[in-house]
Amino acid sequence: MYKALEEKIKNRTALVGIIGMGYVGLPLAVELGRENFKVIGIDVLKDKVDLVNSGRSDIDDVKDQDLQPLVKAGKIKATVDFSALEEVDCIAICVPTPLSKTKDPDVSYILAAVEQVQKYLHPGQLVILESTTYPGTTEELILPMLEKTELKVGKDFFLAFSPERVDPGNRSYNTKNTPRVVGGTTPQCTRIAKLFYEQTIIEAIPVSSTKSAEMVKLLENTFRSVNIGLVNEVALMCDRLKIDVWEIIDAANTKPFGFMRFYPGPGLGGHCIPIDPHYLSWKLKSLNYYARFIELAGDINSHMPEYVVERVNRALNEKQKSLNRSKILVLGVAYKKDIKDLRESPALDVIRLLQNAGAQVSYNDPHASSVRMDDSVMKSVELTEALLKSADCVVILTDHTAYDYDWIVKNSQLLMDTRNATKNVKEDNKKIVRL
């Protein structure tokens, strides 16, 4: 079985099934298609399937002009029918792994996908989980389900974990040129999964087990979460000390060793950094260990939207204005610059807090035309000189490069900059308040 699958992968005749056509699955499908693999994308959302089959993308990192030729050439097709798994040789599971309201891992999407894989599992298949999850998921949850088929792992079928490393909007690193970590349930599982990724990705790095591969991803994002938490707390300290946190960070960054620059902001967003560390924290609680760094960083980062609103309120008070009934214009609601991704965006929390305080809030985002706020939908307003001048305070929450910050500052009464986006504004203007 191993030799046969190895040959199919090497000569590109292996049919690949990808479960989940989102931010992880679709870019992977495109890279495989470019390398002459045929891909069947499976998604439970018919609208998503229809979109892919029409050659259109709703993902920032996949352009229509990249997807359309592959769809037309028959390299990529999508379906809602999981029976397509019966034909495929390699399966990549790329489904969401959110947290519950109590910050417990929700692996229901993974389990639902594996139930379908179990139905159609056949000798010679490679199954890879890419969804971020807690250490032990692959061997404790997925392997027992697949072994119920009486097929032997490492002999009849192959199972591995390889965490996605997608960074939406990153202009330097993408699916193809970002190395992959691969851990299999047996040495042969690791080797065949490594071979699979080596066909499309710059490098595949093997580790000793699926649990190790799962831990690698959590370390990566916990590292970022903790360091962002640290610099956010430094921002709070600098506010009390009445010094400029941005100046402090840039000066510290001149040291050529022993310092890595992170910047503060209005909170954490995206599917990974605000969520993944809590998977590790949850797992360790079951082993009677309290992950103190993770919990502390999470607490600091989650309260940054409140701090932003408090700073806006303070700035308005200095102008003899109240936050209640003030007109607040928010610039940027995506969780990071130059993308439309709203997942876990701290901007949404800031808007809610402003509204709860009685402010009249509108927003502009060149990448996000609308956003759902609980039971209502807000639409992006046109950014005009009149709109800027009418706002009691303009709040920059996402530093999109499309914005003309000199023009924005010139026409604003008061501006709260949470991203240091106005650092190069030539005009030395006292109406700018920075985080």
Reported as a single tens digit per residue, the pLDDT across 224-262 is 999 999 999 999 999 999 999 999 999 999 999 999 999
Measured between alpha carbons, how far is 134 from 113 in angstroms, rounded to an integer?
Answer: 17
Least Cα distance to 127 among 114, 109, 140 occurs for 114
Question: For residue 270, what pLDDT is reported?
Answer: 84
Give a three-class secondary structure readout of 9-48.
HHCCCCEEEEECCCCCHHHHHHHHHHCCCEEEEECCCHHH
Which fold, 2-218? Rossmann fold (3.40.50)
Give the Cα separation of 331 and 309 in Å (integer): 14
Fold agreement between 2-218 and 244-434: yes
Share of residues in the chain with pLDDT > 90 (%): 92
- Residue 203 banded pLDDT, cuts 50, 70, 90: very high
Q: Report whether pLDDT(403) > 90.
A: yes
Give strand pairing partners of 77.
Answer: 40
Q: What is the mean pLDDT of residues 397-406?
A: 97
- The region of weakest confidence among 1-5, 181-185, 374-378, 385-389 is 374-378
Among the residue ranges 83-97, 148-162, 416-430, the one predicted with the least confidence is 416-430
CA distance 426 to 405: 10
Neighbours of 109 (CB within 10 A): 18
pLDDT over threshold 90, residue 192: yes
What local confidence, expressed as pLDDT, does residue 430 receive?
A: 83
Q: Is the pLDDT of residue 211 over 70?
A: yes
Q: List the domain boundaries for the chain.
A: 2-218, 244-434
Q: pLDDT over 70 for what percent of the chain?
A: 100
Contacts of 368 (CB under 8 A, 6+ apart): 333, 334, 340, 342, 380
Structure confidence at residue 94 as a pLDDT band (50, 70, 90): very high
- The answer on pLDDT for 263 being more than 70 is yes
For all residues of the chain together, what is the average pLDDT?
A: 95
pLDDT of residue 103: 78
The fourth-level CATH superfamily of domain 244-434 is NAD(P)-binding Rossmann-like Domain (3.40.50.720)
pLDDT at 426: 79
Question: CA-CA distance, 416 to 321, in Å (whole number)?
Answer: 15
What does the DSSP 8-state code read for residue 85? G
295 touches 373 (CB < 8 A): no
**Strand runs (DSSP E) across 114-209, as ranges?**
126-129, 158-161, 180-184, 204-206
Per-residue model confidence (pLDDT) at position 242: 96
Place 86 in a pLDDT band, splitting at 50, 70 and 90: very high
Q: Is 94 a catalytic residue?
A: no
Q: Which of 90, 189, 238, 272 is catalytic?
A: 272
Mean pLDDT, range 388-409, rounded to an integer:
97
Please report the pLDDT score of residue 99 as a whole number. 85
**Residue 428 confidence class, pLDDT cut points 50, 70, 90:** low
Quick: pLDDT tens for 313-372.
Answer: 999 999 999 999 999 999 999 999 999 999 999 999 999 999 999 999 999 999 999 999
